[in-house]
Structure 1
Amino acid sequence: MDIIPLDHDDDVMLKELFGVATRSESVSRVQPIQRTEDEFLKMVRFSFPGEREESVVAVVDGSPVGWARVFFPERDNLDKCWSHLEVDPQHRGKGVGTALVDWMEQQARAAGRDMLLTEVFVPVGDRESHADREFALRRGFTVSSIEIVRSLPLPVADDVMAEHERRAAEAMGDLYELTVHVDGVPDELRQGVCDASNRLILDAPTGDVEFEPESMTVDDYETLLQHLRDTGRTMVTAVAVHRESGVVAAYTDLSIPTGDPHVVFQWGTLVLPEHRGHRLGMAVKVANLEELARLAPERRSVQTMNDEQNPWMVQINKDLGFAIIEEALTMKKAF
């Protein structure tokens, strides 16, 4: 087995890795993510501003059997890095994963990072015994937090939506203006959305790992939108603006992918601490779901993740009808 750097311009290798990732996720996830080959290639080649990535491929007899990626934030949280590992199911248990984790740890140490983070997805009830968790534990990782993956069947019943919309409107009163936008918010809202998104990692529970605010800029936001357009994704964003101050008090994003015609992904949702208590979280989610029903009525579910120690967002999701489908263990290794 050889461990070689990934050449992002090598179409042949990337297409083979698409097969590796697809087969790996098919046995590692309860609801594997469906992607087109083109979407996969564009995703792997995309670099988000302010983040550096290093990737390698495990090759046996000239064919890839696994790959590893390490992501290094370069503006904030400079003591940490995130990692992602995929091993073809038929090559598991043969040292491929161990070799790739060795490489990831070497890169983290070489970059002066104190912590390597990753996610392990497990079926409900398997958080204490799943093979992927046990593999990470043997390598010196520990569980730092647990997120619950939930799925909402679509369409949501009209009476359920109407009741949540009514209660949210009563709580908001005339204090906030609620708007929904497709493929990015207008220029005057972009800084506010970036500010809210950057503090999401602070306000959402993260177990025993502490984070700094992130540093997405308005230019970064446009770069992300261009990447979504390139991959054929549609993003729907609901925003609640405080009328008196003009501050973006709450936002939420839905991402509609091209590779799976049935699912939609719930991305970030945040209500600023000083604006909580007005049911803004429910308001923006309902507004986004209504726009989703108009844009993509053929979609059959929305998938989301929330830390199990986030009772407020968990309750909103339960009230809307989200049901648990699997769990995501955030694993850390400190150096």
Structure 2
Amino acid sequence: MRLVEVDPDDEGHVGTLTRLIEVARAHDDPDAFVQTVEDVRNEVRYGGDLEPTQVVLLLDDTGAAVGHLGLWVPQHDNRHLVDARFSVVPDRRGQGFGTLLLEELQRRTLALGRTTLWIGVAADDASSTRFLAQHGFSPGSRDARRHQRLAQVDPETIAAVERDAAAHARDYVLERVDPPYDDAHLTALIPAMAAINDAPTGALTFEDEVFDLDRMREIEQARALRGERARRVLARHRGTGAVAGHTYLTVRPWAPTEAYQWDTSVARVDRGHRLGLALKIEMMRWLAETEPQLEVVETWNNADNVPMINVNEALGYRLSRTFATHQKVLDA
């Protein structure tokens, strides 16, 4: 057996990793978006906010790739944590490769001075759940993936929801904002971004994420470097001009019929005005004008985040699958 670090500039490494991920996805989770070479390279090179995912391939004695291990190691906060993913190709499972990868993961985590491991698997994947339990992991939180298939969304339903939201949000104005964003804009966004910390995280050991101007710059720089088209809608209070909430979405030019809906958050003092609905409906209107080829939007929520789930269900998002994040605290 041999472990090989994946270099994002090595076309062979990235191609092998992409094929391995896709074989596992097609077998285990066919409703998930296809992952392309561009997606995989971006994740290894940039991550979501210039914190790249560290990835290794597991090669067997013939040199064939049989599995992979990915580690996201947060740097701004939660410096106790490693959030990991791993896979073994379906026809090589049950041969000890998963155990080998998990042992390597724990070794690397301790070498980084971290103490807490997360691994996410489908909640209905009994085999993976048993495997993690055998190695000392326990379930800590559940997240639900939903898809909004635009051709199946009823325009009259959306119009009715929009009228209701507008009646409650009269004190706010919605703004469509394209990148690049200057420092004044990013600074004004910080309270709305930080509001995401109010989302539930179950029993996971997780500190609030701290957003400052440097971090906001890094998030936007990573999006630009990844080559994605970003869309953000803001809600501003008419009286103060303060940013009360935002929603953020990206479209990948190499997969233009799909979009990822990222954070939608509203500052505590501005909740109760249907701003989540208003923001996301305005995003839908904008996308209809600028991304008419779009077919499906994916979003994730903690399974206990009832207010946001209700917003998404009202807008035609339907459950795709539920996932569980399992946690293990290591002995230093």
**Matched residues in 1 for 2:23 and 2:191: separation?**
38
Q: Do structure 1's residue 171 and structure 2's residue 172 form an aligned pair?
A: no
Measured after TM superposition, the shift of residue 265 of structure 1 is 1.4
Question: What amino acid maps onto 1:56 in structure 2?
Answer: V
Question: What amino acid maps onto 1:171 in structure 2?
Answer: H
1:264-285 per-residue CA deviation (whole Å, 9 max, x = no partner) reads 2111111111111111111111
Measured after TM superposition, the shift of residue 216 of structure 1 is 4.1
What is the DSSP-based 3-state SS (H/G/I as helix, E as strand, rest coil) of the residue aligned with 1:73? coil
**Matched residues in 2 for 1:47 and 1:136: separation?**
25
1:235-286 per-residue CA deviation (whole Å, 9 max, x = no partner) reads 1111112233333211111121234343221111111111111111111111
Would you say the 8 A contact 1:184–1:235 is kept in 2? no
Measured after TM superposition, the shift of residue 314 of structure 1 is 1.0
Measured after TM superposition, the shift of residue 319 of structure 1 is 1.1
Question: What amino acid maps onto 2:4 in structure 1?
Answer: I
Per the alignment, residue 203 of structure 2 pairs with 208
Mind listing any 5+ residue stretches in structure 1 that lack a counterpart?
A: none
What TM-score results when the alignment is normalised by the length of structure 1?
A: 0.89
Would you say the 8 A contact 2:138–2:328 is kept in 1? yes
Measured after TM superposition, the shift of residue 121 of structure 1 is 2.5
What TM-score results when the alignment is normalised by the length of structure 2?
A: 0.90
2:297 to 292, 302, 319: 302
Per the alignment, residue 158 of structure 2 pairs with 161
Per the alignment, residue 56 of structure 1 pairs with 56
Q: Do structure 1's residue 238 and structure 2's residue 233 form an aligned pair?
A: yes
Measured after TM superposition, the shift of residue 38 of structure 1 is 3.1
Question: What amino acid maps onto 1:38 in structure 2?
Answer: E
1:41-70 per-residue CA deviation (whole Å, 9 max, x = no partner) reads 233211555746533221111232211122
Per the alignment, residue 31 of structure 1 pairs with 31
Measured after TM superposition, the shift of residue 7 of structure 1 is 3.3
| 1:156-305 pair list within 5 angstroms | 156-173=153-170, 175-185=171-181, 187-200=183-196, 202-305=197-300
What is the DSSP-based 3-state SS (H/G/I as helix, E as strand, rest coil) of the residue aligned with 1:151? strand
**Matched residues in 2 for 1:39 and 1:320: separation?**
27
**Matched residues in 1 for 2:287 and 2:92: separation?**
40
**Matched residues in 1 for 2:160 and 2:311: separation?**
13
Q: Do structure 1's residue 109 and structure 2's residue 110 form an aligned pair?
A: yes
2:143 to 147, 156, 161: 147
Measured after TM superposition, the shift of residue 31 of structure 1 is 1.2
**Matched residues in 1 for 2:255 and 2:223: separation?**
15
Per the alignment, residue 96 of structure 2 pairs with 95
Would you say the 8 A contact 1:199–1:213 is kept in 2? no
1:197-247 per-residue CA deviation (whole Å, 9 max, x = no partner) reads 2441x2111001243232344444444434434443211111112233333
Aligned Cα RMSD in Å?
2.2
